[in-house]
Amino acid sequence: MLKGSIVALATPFLGDKVDEKAFQELVDWQINQGTNGLLPVGTTGESPTLSHEEHKRVVEMCIDISSNRVPVLAGAGSNSTDEAIALAKHAKDAGADAVLVVTPYYNKPTQGGLFAHFKAIHDQVDIPIIVYNIPGRSVVDINQSTLVKLAELTNIIGIKDATSNISRVSSTRLILGSEFCQLSGEDATALAFMAHGGHGCISVTANVAPKLCSDFYDAWFNNDPVSALSINDKLMPLHISLFLETSPSPVKFALSLLGKSSEDVRLPLVKLNDKTKQKIEAAMRSAGLI
């Protein structure tokens, strides 16, 4: 089962190109710092503005550099079902351990449409699937009855939940059991998510604080909630500051402070204003990262 700190990897750019060297070094550093899993080409990886060729190359690099040291959960979402199937097929062929598939954005499918979307991917590609529910970006929300139907499909093994509705973790666990993987999609609420029975987090903050994030989950799973709370308090200013402007612009700037990436993002995202930069730098200092 996917568990602990799973980093939603940023995709470093150098001008208008993917910085392959920086990405490969970022993957290796993450693993060496204790990160439990890797998610390339998610929203934090700027998947909406990567070409199909870039998307596939980033997945392939992540799998190659990770070399089976930790699981790779490849982003394979699209608001086109056929495109999501194609991305999932590529991820499987490349050697990914699972795929993360977001709810179709902009189209606003019904619950029936959501079920049909995920079932089509499930039926076409034999790979474990994590459903990604993020109404704040996709507008649609998977309700509990739809999730229960999806969980009956063999390869749908869990959910990334970015709804901020912590009670869903318990209600989902009570219906689907503890083996159904529940991953938080929000660093700032991950502690509460875990307390309700979650298994880990697909983390933005882990890009820049991989060891602290790993230590947080280690403390929790080692039945040391006092240490987990202490680490969470240390990370909270960073959790908050990394979303003061649209992600991943803030985390790209934070990575630039560590010398891990440029702060370049692709339009329609832009670099941060100076006030936000100052708050992120202060949060990084508070966490002892710079």
Our answer to whether residue 160 is catalytic in this structure is: yes
pTM, two decimal places: 0.96
Task: Indicate if the alpha-carbon torsion angle 94, 129, 47, 189 is positive or negative.
Answer: negative
**How many contiguous H segments (helices) and E segments (strands) does the chain have?**
12, 10
Catalytic residue among 56, 132, 217, 252: 132
C-beta atoms surrounding 256 within 10 Å: 17
Strands (E), the chain: 4-8, 13-14, 17-18, 37-39, 73-75, 98-102, 129-133, 156-161, 181-184, 200-203
* Region at 104 (left for phi over 0; alpha for psi -120 to 50; beta for the rest): beta
Instruction: Tell me which residues of the chain have a pLDDT lower than 70.
Output: none
Strands 17-18 and 13-14, bridge-based pairing = antiparallel
220-235 b/e (C-beta count within 10 Å ≥ 16 → b): beeeeeeebeebbebb
Those residues with Cβ within 8 angstroms of residue 154's Cβ, 6 or more apart along the chain or in another chain: 122
Element (H, E) at 61: helix 52-66
Our answer to whether residue 108 is catalytic in this structure is: no
C-beta atoms surrounding 29 within 10 Å: 13
Catalytic residue among 17, 92, 105, 160: 160
Task: Indicate if the alpha-carbon torsion angle 253, 256, 257, 258 is positive or negative.
Answer: positive
pLDDT at 146: 98
pLDDT at 238: 98
pLDDT at 7: 98
pLDDT at 241: 98
pLDDT at 174: 97
pLDDT at 213: 98
User: Would you mind telling me the total number of residues written for the chain in this entry?
Assistant: 290
Query: Distance (Å, rounded) from C-alpha 222 to C-alpha 225?
Result: 8
Percent helix / strand / coil, the chain, rounded to 5: 50, 15, 35
Query: Distance (Å, rounded) from C-alpha 219 to C-alpha 221?
Result: 6
pLDDT at 184: 98
Residue where the block lists tokens 């190109």: 17
What's domain 4-233's superfamily in CATH? Aldolase class I (3.20.20.70)
Those residues with Cβ within 8 angstroms of residue 147's Cβ, 6 or more apart along the chain or in another chain: 131, 133, 159, 172, 176
